Amino acid sequence: MTAQAHKLWHFNGGVHPEQHKDVSTREPIEFMRLPRLVVLPLSQHIGEHCEPLVKAGDNVNKGQVIARAPGYVSAAVHASTSGRVVTVEERPVPHPSGMSAPCIVIEPDGREYWGESRLPPIEDYLNADPVTLRNRVREAGIVGLGGAAFPSAVKLNPRTEQPIDTVILNGAECEPYITCDDMLMRERAAQVLDGLRIIMHVVKAGEAVIGIEDNKPEAYQDFCAALGGSDVDGIRVVQVPTLYPTGGEKQLIKVLTGREVPSQGLPIDVGMVCHNVGTAYAIYRAVAEGEPLISRIVTVTGGGTQNPRNFEVLLGTPVGDLIDAAGGYTPEAHRLVMGGPMMGFALSDDEVPVIKGTNCLLAATREETPATPPALPCIRCGACMRACPANLLPQQLYWFARARDFDKVQDYNLFDCIECGCCSYVCPSHIPLVQYYRFAKTEIWELERERRKADQARIRHEFRQERLEREKREKAEKLARKKAALAKKPEKADAEDPKKAAIQAALERVKAKKATAGVEPKNTSDLTPEQAAQIEAAEARRAHAREKADSEGND
Ligand code: SF4
Ligand code: SF4
């Protein structure tokens, strides 16, 4: 079957923002030099925050685990180079709120020394036990590199009876400035394909479809060349029309297979898993080369940089160092955005580090990110609804989010919103619709956290009350049993008790002794006159002998 013969479906809505991919694809991927410092946040993923395993002053090897993943939905952090831990403290991290979070800061020693930290490569990986491979992905701290940063080992272990028949590999990369996946597919297609084969083996899927937007013809050709055709061994490479947001997981599944992931559902509900091409590459490196996730490809682009291109960057590299590597800012640089213009967020400074989910730095000019005009009242034109790829009613969501009616906003499936920004993009009243949805989601999560905390406190209180009641009850029962036993015990029982009997006998002996006190035993009573005379004679002899001995002793 050829790629042209692959049937495609459509999702509702979508938009066609102006494309700017060519500016960062003129040069091959460049390896970014060692930065002055690496700053590694303890949380670079969706899920539980990591716990640090090092402290200031420790020396670390490249690839060493420096923060462990405490739970199932979490991903360990590894040192991206060798050096000395300078500090473990709160530092600004990439986040729309500009917040700070705990980070491990390493001063590189320049040696890039691995020591024993490289994981042993699994050579015959397509015959290896899937559990071993899944554990390797977990050990390597791999998360989804398309931007979502969800721990990949969890996605490789869907706990459901639903079998997975197809893996979708996401090479759509629909944001108009980002090209890191495009360049990866062009330069390292064979390794990405091997990563895909590992994923298929782990989830036991017989088929895979790779979706690539048709604005990346080179990547498509390179993939076909690496595969040996566009449809080989159950793996099919398919070009999909360029339409934002085809790179959304649910949208790409719909386009490639026609299957609809249900509202609030996951791809597994329709027998699929979807991974980004960058994630497949990271999985290949972890399994075949024993390398944990310590670097990634980042697009540095926009009219605000001198030399837009893609870099392979050590995680923890400060954003400013990366901009310097791209020749620095141009005088027109106006705003720095992490991610693309549709879904990214503005950074307040360039000291924050590159993390696992960083796919792009857009140093934009005023023309590239014009200031949004003041919002006008909604004119109920319905343009947002027509543009929404998730089949939502953005206008209604906006009203309810604005009114803080969080029950209603959930009734209208707020959590199906992928925050693609299509609705804001088309809104003639310039209403920042996505910001309202993000606000509503944050508030709902916060309320949920509070509710869970209150529930836990109530359960703890009830448990304590129950324990106190039980102890009181047990004490009372014990006392009652003792009393009952004493009341029942016959007097004879005391006599039969050997201990008590011995005490009683001793008491009686004392009593008898007291009764005979003053009566001296005499063996000289009732003597005959002859016996008395003999005793007197003996007494006299003894007295004489005593006197003699005394007088000799005195001499
Ligand atoms: S696009 Fe804007 S103005 Fe039109 S209905 Fe939606 S929110 Fe209202
Ligand atoms: S941001 Fe949400 S509501 Fe708006 S178009 Fe995208 S999915 Fe629909």
Q: Taking a C-beta distance cutoff of 8 angstroms, is the pair 23, 363 a contact?
A: no
- Coil vs helix vs strand at 204: coil
Ligand 2 centroid to Cα of residue 452, in Å, is: 28
Q: Whole-prediction pTM value?
A: 0.82
Nearest ligand to the C-alpha of residue 397? 2
Ligand 2 centroid to Cα of residue 391, in Å, is: 8
Tokens of 178: 């980002």
Question: Can you give the pLDDT at residue 370?
Answer: 84
DSSP state, residue 280: H
As a whole number, mean pLDDT of residues 107-136 equals: 96
Point out the ligand 1 atom lying closest to the alpha carbon of residue 383.
1
Residue 373 scores a pLDDT above 80:
yes
pLDDT band at 549 (very low <50, low <70, confident <90, very high): low
Point out the ligand 2 atom lying closest to the alpha carbon of residue 420.
6
CB count in 10 Å sphere of residue 344: 25
Tokens of 520: 């001296």
Ligand 1 centroid to Cα of residue 338, in Å, is: 27
Report the DSSP beta bridge partners of residue 335.
364
**Distance between CA atoms of residues 311 and 32, nearest Å:** 6
Nearest ligand to the C-alpha of residue 427? 1
Residue 219 scores a pLDDT above 60:
yes
pLDDT digits (tens, 9 = 90+) for 269-289: 999 999 999 999 999 999 999
**Chain Cα centroid distance, residue 201:** 24
pLDDT band at 369 (very low <50, low <70, confident <90, very high): confident
Q: Taking a C-beta distance cutoff of 8 angstroms, is the pair 128, 279 a contact?
A: no
Closest CA to 119 of 62, 196, 193: 62
Nearest ligand to the C-alpha of residue 384? 1
Residues 132/133/134/136 CA torsion (nearest 10 deg):
90
Ligand 2 centroid to Cα of residue 142, in Å, is: 28
The DSSP element (H or E) to which 41 belongs, if any, is strand 38-41
CB count in 10 Å sphere of residue 98: 14
pLDDT digits (tens, 9 = 90+) for 412-471: 999 999 999 999 999 999 999 999 999 999 999 999 989 988 988 999 899 999 999 999
Q: What percent of the chain has pLDDT over 90?
A: 78
What residue's CA is closest to ligand 1, atom 6?
384
